[in-house]
C-alpha cells in the first residue's frame, strides 16, 4: 500500500529544504570571506597612496620647494659663521646659541620657517590636491575608475601629512648637517640650565619635528577643504597662505588676546618647551588639541563638500 503524502503540502515542498540548504551552501562557497574583501581594499588604498606620493615627489616645483626649505638652514649657518664675532653671543634665542653648538641650527631654522616657508609649502601642496586635478581633468578620471570619494580624499590627506613630515624633516636634517659641519655637534644646554647628551637631544629634536608636523597636518586639512571649493589651484594656494599669514599677524596683537586660543598658530612657539628639563607639556598639549580640532572640523567640511562636488565638466 503506497504511503500517503502529507496533507496540505505539495510534493515539491518535501524537497524544498534540501534545495534551500544546497543554495545556501553554494552561496557560502561563492561569497568571499571578510578578510579576503578587506585585504584587496587595503592593497588598493596603498597603491593609490603610493601613486599620490610618487606624483607629489616627482613634480619639479615640489622638488624645488624642498630645495628651498633645505637651503634656509644652510644659509643661516653660513651667515652666523661669517658674522661679526662681537655680535654672535647677543640674545637668548636659538640663533644666538648656534656658535657654541651646531645642533641649534636645526631648531633656529624650524622657528624661522614655521611662520612662512613651511606653511607656504603646505599651501602649495594642499591647494593642488583637489583643485589641481579638477583643473586638468584627472580628478574625473579617478572617480570614473571608480575610486570612492571618501577613500580618495583620505588618501590625499594622508599624502599631505607625509609631505608635511618630509618637509619638516628636511629642514631639521639640513640644519644638523650644516651646523655640525660649521660648528660641531655637542651636548645641548637646556632652557632649564641642565645639559642633555647628544642622543637625548636628537630625540628631543625628533619630537619637535613631530610637533611641527602636527601643526602642518592641521593646516593641510584646512587647505584640503579650500581646495574642494575651487578648480583653480593657484587661488587655493594663495587663500591658504593668506589665512596662515593672517593668523600669525592676529596672534601677534596683544589686544586680541581673547582670539589667540582659537588660532591654529598660537601654541606653535611652544616647541621651545621641548628643550626644558623635564619637558614642559601643558602648552604643547593645548597646541596638539587645537591641531586636532582643526583637522576634525576641516576634514569633515572637505568631505561634505567633496561628496557632492560636480566633476563632470
Q: Where are the domains of the chain?
A: 59-307
Residue 143's pLDDT band, with cuts at 50, 70 and 90, is low
Are 274 and 191 contacting, i.e. CB atoms less than 8 angstroms apart? no
Which DSSP state fits 18?
H
Asked whether residue 310 carries a pLDDT value surpassing 90, the answer given is no
Indicate the length of the chain as a whole number.
313
- What does the pLDDT average to over 97-120? 92
Cα 159 off chain centre by: 7
DSSP alpha helices (H): ranges in the chain?
11-30, 34-58, 60-82, 103-113, 117-129, 131-136, 138-144, 149-183, 198-228, 233-251, 282-307
**pLDDT given for residue 137 in this prediction:** 55
**pLDDT given for residue 309 in this prediction:** 62
Which DSSP state fits 83?
S
Per-residue cell: 76: 643661516
**Average pLDDT over all residues of the chain:** 82
Asked whether residue 278 carries a pLDDT value surpassing 60, the answer given is yes
Of the candidates 137, 168, 144, 133, which has an alpha carbon nearest to the alpha carbon of residue 52? 133
Of the candidates 159, 103, 104, which has an alpha carbon nearest to the alpha carbon of residue 128? 159
Higher-scoring residue by pLDDT: 123, 23:
123
Higher-scoring residue by pLDDT: 3, 24:
3
pLDDT in tens, 61-97: 999 999 999 999 999 999 998 875 555 555 446 777 7
Higher-scoring residue by pLDDT: 297, 150:
297
- What does the pLDDT average to over 91-109? 81
pLDDT in tens, 171-222: 999 999 999 999 999 999 998 889 999 999 999 999 999 999 999 999 999 9
Per-residue cell: 220: 593641510
Asked whether residue 23 carries a pLDDT value surpassing 50, the answer given is no
Higher-scoring residue by pLDDT: 49, 249:
249
Q: What percent of the chain has pLDDT over 90?
A: 56
3-state SS class at 41: helix
Greatest distance between any 2 Cα atoms in the chain: 123
pTM of the model: 0.82
Asked whether residue 11 carries a pLDDT value surpassing 50, the answer given is no
**pLDDT given for residue 17 in this prediction:** 44
- What does the pLDDT average to over 110-139? 83
Asked whether residue 268 carries a pLDDT value surpassing 60, the answer given is yes
Asked whether residue 33 carries a pLDDT value surpassing 60, the answer given is no
Are 108 and 175 contacting, i.e. CB atoms less than 8 angstroms apart? yes
Amino acid at each position: 500500500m503506497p504511503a500517503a503524502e502529507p496533507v496540505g503540502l505539495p510534493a515539491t515542498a518535501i524537497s524544498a529544504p534540501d534545495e534551500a540548504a544546497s543554495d545556501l551552501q553554494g552561496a557560502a562557497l561563492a561569497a568571499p570571506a571578510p578578510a579576503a574583501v578587506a585585504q584587496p581594499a587595503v592593497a588598493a588604498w596603498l597603491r593609490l597612496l603610493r601613486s599620490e606620493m610618487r606624483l607629489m615627489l616627482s613634480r619639479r616645483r615640489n622638488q624645488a620647494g624642498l630645495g628651498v626649505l633645505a637651503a634656509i638652514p644652510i644659509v643661516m649657518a653660513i651667515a652666523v659663521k661669517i658674522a661679526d664675532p662681537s655680535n654672535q653671543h647677543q640674545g637668548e634665542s636659538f640663533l644666538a646659541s648656534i656658535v657654541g653648538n651646531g645642533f641649534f641650527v636645526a631648531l633656529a631654522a624650524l622657528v624661522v620657517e614655521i611662520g612662512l616657508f613651511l606653511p607656504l609649502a603646505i599651501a602649495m601642496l594642499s591647494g593642488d590636491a583637489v583643485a589641481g586635478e579638477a583643473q586638468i581633468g584627472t580628478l574625473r578620471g579617478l572617480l570614473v575608475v571608480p575610486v570612492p570619494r571618501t577613500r580618495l580624499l583620505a588618501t590625499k590627506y594622508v599624502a599631505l601629512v607625509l609631505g608635511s613630515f618630509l618637509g619638516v624633516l628636511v629642514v631639521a636634517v639640513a640644519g644638523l648637517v650644516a651646523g655640525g659641519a660649521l660648528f660641531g655637534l655637542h651636548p645641548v644646554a637646556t632652557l632649564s640650565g641642565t645639559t642633555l647628551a647628544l642622543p637625548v637631544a636628537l630625540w628631543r629634536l625628533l619630537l619637535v619635528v613631530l610637533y611641527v608636523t602636527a601643526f602642518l597636518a592641521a593646516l593641510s586639512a584646512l587647505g584640503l577643504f579650500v581646495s574642494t571649493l575651487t578648480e583653480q589651484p593657484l587661488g587655493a594656494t594663495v587663500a591658504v597662505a593668506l589665512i596662515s599669514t593672517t593668523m600669525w599677524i592676529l596672534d601677534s596683537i596683544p589686544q586680541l588676546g581673547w582670539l589667540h586660543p582659537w588660532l591654529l598658530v598660537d601654541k606653535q612657539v611652544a616647541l621651545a618647551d621641548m628643550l626644558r628639563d623635564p619637558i614642559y607639556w601643558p602648552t604643547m598639549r593645548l597646541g596638539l588639541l587645537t591641531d586636532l580640532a582643526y583637522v576634525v572640523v576641516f576634514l569633515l567640511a572637505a568631505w561634505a563638500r567633496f561628496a557632492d562636488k560636480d566633476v563632470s565638466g
